[in-house]
Amino acid sequence: MKGLFNAESVVVVGVSESFDNLGKNVVANLVNFGYRGKIYAVGPRGGEVHGCPIYRSIRELPQEVELAVILTPARLVNEMLTQCGEKGVRYAVIETAGFQERGTEQGEALEREIVETCRKFGIRFVGPNCVGTVNTANNLYTPFTVLSVPYRRGRIGVFAQSGGVGLSLVERLGRSGAGVSKFVSMGNKLSLDEADYLAFLMDDPETDIIYFYLEGFKNGRAFAELAKRCEKPIVLHKSNTNPASLAIAHSHTAVLAADDSVVEGVCRECGILRVHSLSEALGVLKGLSLPPLQGKKLAVVSRSGGHAVVIADACAAAGFELPPLESHIIDFAQSHSRAGVIQFGNPLDLGDIYDFSFYFNLVEMALEQKNIDGVIFMQVSQMMLEAQSTRDLLEKLSELSVRSGKPVATVVEIPFPERVRLEENSSTPFFLDPVEAVQALAARFRVRKTGAALSSRKASEELNTAEIEKWFSGIQSRNRQPLLHEALHLIELASIPTVPWRMANDPESAVRAAGELGFPVALKAVAPSLLHKSDKGALALDIADAQSLRREFARLHNLSEDITGIVVQKMAPAARELVIGGKKDPSFGPVVLAGLGGIMVEVLKDVSIRLAPVGPDEALEMLGELSGSRILGRFRGMREADCKAAARILSRLSVLMSRFPQIREIDLNPVSLLDAGEGALALDARVLVGE
C-alpha cells in the first residue's frame, strides 16, 4: 500500500472556494501539517485554495498522480474514478457517502459501478463513506475534518470502520503520550478490507501495535489466518454484537456459536486481545506500548497508602503476585523515612518521603530484583510546586523502563490543569487510574505468544470422501434435510463412533433390532417435524423388553403424520456428556464447538470455539478451556473421562465441516464420554445442508 500511505502526489477531487466545502479542508490539513508531496485540487468552478490552484478536471492535471481523495456527490464518483484511472492513479480514498449504507437500490448500483471501474484500472480504494487516512511519518493527512494540530507520532496503527470512533481513539492516544503511526477510516470496505490492512500492518516498519474497530467482518477467515502469523499485538474492538444468526439457528451449535461467540473464539485462537469500549482499548494500547512483561510478579511503589491498597487488590484480581522486596531495598526506603511510622513492604508506601530522585532510585532497584517483572508507580500530588518534577520523573521512568526491558506503569493523580499540561506535552504513556494500569499490564502479559507459537496445527484425519459425496448426492436428490438415521450414517462415514442403532418401520422389525442390539434400548421417532425430540416426547429410554418396546413404538408412531420410521438404539451407559458441533459462519467459514451439558448446554453456555479444521491436540485444548472441565477429570469417585477419544471426534467433525461446504450446521448431542481408555460415543446427530 505504498501509494496509499507514502504517495508523493495527491489530488483532492471535489474542491471549491466555498466556506463549507469539505475538499478544501483536506487541502488545508495537507498544507498546514507540512506534507511535502505535490498537492493538486480539482473542482468544476476552478479558483484557488490554500495556495493551490483548482483544476476544473482531473484530465487537466499536469502529471500523473499516485493518490486521489474524492468528495464529490455519489452520482459523480464513478466518472471521477474513470478520470483517475486514465491519469495513472492506483489508490483512492472515497470519502463520499450515499452508497450501500443508504439501503437503496440506487446506492447498491453506484457501488457496483465504482467496483467495476476500479477493477478495470487496477485502483484499490478506502471507503466509500469514510473520514480519511493519516500517516504521521510523512504528514499525509486526508480527513475532511479540519484538524487543529497534527497527531502525536507513535507506533500504534488505528484502523476503524467508524470514522468517529477512530478519530476519538487517535485523539485520546495522543493525549495519553502514546501516539499513532497510521490511521484509516475504513468505511464500507468495498475494496480494501480488514484483511488487506492487517497484511500491510504486519510488515509496516512504523507500526508495532495494531488496533481495529469493526462493526462487521468482510473477510473474517483471511483476517484470522493472518492474525495467527502476526508477531505484533492485535487489539480488536468488535461492536454490533447482536447475534443475527439466532433467527435461523436450528441446532444447539448454531445457538451457542452465535456471531459474537465466534468472534470470541477466533480472538482466543489467534491471540487477539478483545476489548469492548474505547476506554478499555486506550488502557490496553498504553500497556502494549510498554516493554514486555515476562512474568506476573510486580512491585508497587506509591506515594499514597490508600492507592497502594487499591493497586494490591487489583493485582490480586488479575492474578499478579507481589513478592517481598529484597532487604537492601527496604533498608534504603527506611533510611529516607521522616517519621518512621510506615511499615515498608510490597506495596511500598512512601507517604512521608518527598524526594523525587529517591523515587527513581527505588524503582530502579526494584527492577534490578530478579523476581520482579515490572513496577507500578503511583504518583499522587496536589501541589503545583511539584508539577515540573512530576513531568521530569515520568520521562526518566519511561527511559528506565526501556533500558531495563521491564515495564514501569506510571499512574498520576494530579490537579486537573497540570494533567492537561501533561497530556499536551508528555511523550510517554501514563495512566490516570490505578486499576487501568493493572489491567493494561495484564493485557501486556497475555500477548507474549509470537506468531510462530500460534501457527495452525493441521488436522490429519482422513475421510471416506467418495462415500460421503455419494451420501450428499442422495440427500440432494430427495430435496430435503437429512433425517436422524441419515445423519447417523454420515457421521459413521466420517469414522465418528456412535452407539449401535437400527432403523425400523414396524413394531416387529423394531423387536428384532432390539434383540440384535441387546436390551435395554432407546427408541427415537424419525420425522422432519421432530428435530428436537426431547421437547416433543419423541423418544423413549431404557426399554427393557419386547412388550414395552411395542407399546412405546405405537406411542411414538402416532406423534406425527410425517413419521418415516423409528431408530432403535442400544442404551449407552451413564456417563459425562458433551455437545460437539460445527456451523458455517458467514464471516469466518466453518467453525467447530465443544461444550458441556447435553440437554443443559444452552443453559450452561460453557463452550469453546475454533476455526475448522483442528487437530486432536488442539481439540484437546478446547476441552481444557471449558470452565467446567474439572468434571472431566477424577471427580467424586469417578475416573477420568476419555477426553482423547472426544478430541478425536471433534477433530474428525472439524475435517468434515472444512471439506464439505454443503454442511450448514451439524450437531452431535450428546456425546457420551466413557472412562479413560474406553472411548466416546455420539448418541444423537443433527445435520443441516445447503446455503
Question: Does residue 612 carry a pLDDT above 70?
Answer: yes
What pTM did the predictor assign? 0.90
Question: Does residue 565 carry a pLDDT above 50?
Answer: yes
Phi/psi-derived region of residue 335, left when phi > 0, alpha when psi is between -120 and 50, beta in every other case: alpha
The C-alpha atoms of residue 675 and residue 527 are separated, in whole angstroms, by: 33
List, for residues 209-260, the tens digit of each pLDDT value.
999 999 989 999 999 999 999 999 999 999 887 655 444 444 444 445 457 8
| Segment among 272-276, 298-302, 597-601, 649-653 with least mean pLDDT | 597-601
Buried b vs exposed e over 61-100: b needs ≥16 C-beta within 10 Å? Answer: beeebbbbbbbbebeebbebbbbbbebebbbbbbbbbbbb
Question: Does residue 125 carry a pLDDT above 90?
Answer: yes
Q: How large is the average pLDDT for residues 270-286?
A: 95
Could you tell me the pLDDT band of residue 355, with boundaries at 50, 70 and 90? confident
Backbone φ, ψ for residue 267 (5° rounding): -60, -45
Q: How large is the average pLDDT for residues 114-141?
A: 97
What count of other Cβ atoms lies within 10 Å of the Cβ of residue 526?
22
Question: Does residue 458 carry a pLDDT above 80?
Answer: no
pLDDT at 2: 84
Backbone φ, ψ for residue 500 (5° rounding): -55, 140
pLDDT at 580: 96
Question: Does residue 158 carry a pLDDT above 50?
Answer: yes
Could you tell me the pLDDT band of residue 453, with boundaries at 50, 70 and 90? very low
List, for residues 584-611, the tens digit of each pLDDT value.
998 999 999 999 876 666 666 789 999 9
Q: How large is the average pLDDT for residues 146-154?
A: 92
The C-alpha atoms of residue 475 and residue 486 are separated, in whole angstroms, by: 9
Q: How many CA atoms lie within 13 A of 570 on its CB side?
A: 13
pLDDT at 448: 67
Whether the CB-CB separation of 52 and 82 falls below 8 Å is answered with no
List, for residues 502-547, the tens digit of each pLDDT value.
999 999 999 999 999 999 999 999 998 876 666 678 899 999 999 9
Mean pLDDT computed over every residue of the chain: 90
Q: How large is the average pLDDT for residues 26-50?
A: 96
pLDDT at 102: 77
H/E stretch holding 428 reads none
Question: Does residue 630 carry a pLDDT above 90?
Answer: no
Q: Which domains does the chain have, with CATH numbers?
A: 1-140 (3.40.50.720), 151-292+448-455 (3.40.50.261), 296-427 (3.40.50.261), 500-570 (3.30.1490.20), 576-689 (3.30.470.20)
Most confident range, picked from 634-638, 682-686, 687-691:
682-686
List, for residues 182-217, the tens digit of each pLDDT value.
999 999 999 999 999 999 999 999 999 999 999 989
Distances (CA, A) of 528 to 483, 484, 598, 666: 7, 9, 22, 16
In which residue are the cell numbers 443441516 written?
688
pLDDT at 450: 46
Whether the CB-CB separation of 213 and 284 falls below 8 Å is answered with no
List, for residues 388-436, the tens digit of each pLDDT value.
888 899 999 999 999 999 999 999 998 888 888 888 888 889 999 999 9
Question: Does residue 548 carry a pLDDT above 70?
Answer: yes
Question: Does residue 25 carry a pLDDT above 60?
Answer: yes
What lies within 8 Å, CB to CB, of 378 at 6+ separation is 300, 301, 302, 303, 304, 307, 308, 311, 411, 413, 434
pLDDT at 603: 66
List, for residues 460-481, the tens digit of each pLDDT value.
678 889 999 999 999 999 888 9
pLDDT at 248: 43
Question: Does residue 37 carry a pLDDT above 80?
Answer: yes
List, for residues 311-345, the tens digit of each pLDDT value.
999 999 999 999 999 999 999 988 887 665 566 88
